[in-house]
Amino acid sequence: MSAQAARKHDPEASRAAILDAAEGLFLERGFAATSMSEIAERSGVTKSLIHHHFGSKESLWSEIKRRRFTSYHASQLALYERGLSADTIRASMATYFRFLLDNPQVVRMIGWMRLEGDLECADLVCDLRARGLQLIGTAQAAGLIRNDMPPEHVLLMFLGLVNAYFDEAAFVTDGNAAGLEPEAYVANAQKAFEAAMRPAP
């Protein structure tokens, strides 16, 4: 029995093959430049089977995002449940940093989304954003962090400090980003964020 025929009898194997093939193509070429025919060819299934499992290319892309962010979402939720504190902020930044460091395909995915103007917020990411903004607002009201800026600005600075390593490390090291110790960077990013968010005396 061929691999294609075997997949017809194993829906989970079919779904996994489609997701793997589509993710690889989306990361190589971008969402817009990838066709369903190419996904079918790479995954070894028919286009009709892709439509059966996912409905559309957009739904397939959404499922890829969800799959990539599931474990990260669970890790951050566990931190959020502790409430906002200096320790939680440090742990949250380290978790986000480590997630991107260990998953370069996610960094590439985010890059393609920016290039293509893809503003869709994957459900898990939307959930974290909403919860994060709520926690920041609560912490500001309690005087734990400065309250003279909107929560959205605080979150943007938090994300920016982490993303800067992946966006600009090669530039600031003249192409030798491997020499920029990641653990040292995230520790300094944590210090910078804590200093910037400290309430005024």
Domain 66-197: state its class: mainly alpha
Q: Where are the domains of the chain?
A: 3-55, 66-197
Q: Name the band, by pLDDT with cuts 50, 70 and 90, for residue 4.
A: low
pLDDT at residue 116 is higher than 90:
no
pLDDT at 193: 96
pLDDT at 9: 63
Q: DSSP H helical segments within the chain, as ranges?
A: 3-8, 11-29, 36-43, 47-54, 57-80, 86-102, 104-115, 123-141, 151-172, 182-197
pLDDT at 119: 75
Give the whole-angstrom CA distance, residue 72 versus residue 99. 7
Residue of 187, 2, 183, 195 lying closest to 90 (CA atoms): 187
Residue of 116, 105, 115, 126 lying closest to 20 (CA atoms): 105
pLDDT at 178: 67
Same fold, 3-55 and 66-197: no
pLDDT at 8: 55
pLDDT at 2: 43
pLDDT at 6: 46
Give the whole-angstrom CA distance, residue 168 versus residue 177. 9
What pLDDT digit, counting tens, does each position of 133-192 carry? 999 999 999 999 999 999 999 999 999 999 999 988 888 887 776 668 899 999 999 999
Mean pLDDT of the chain: 89
User: Is the CATH number 1.10.10.60 carried by domain 3-55?
Assistant: yes
> pLDDT > 90: what percent of the chain?
63
pLDDT at residue 3 is higher than 70:
no
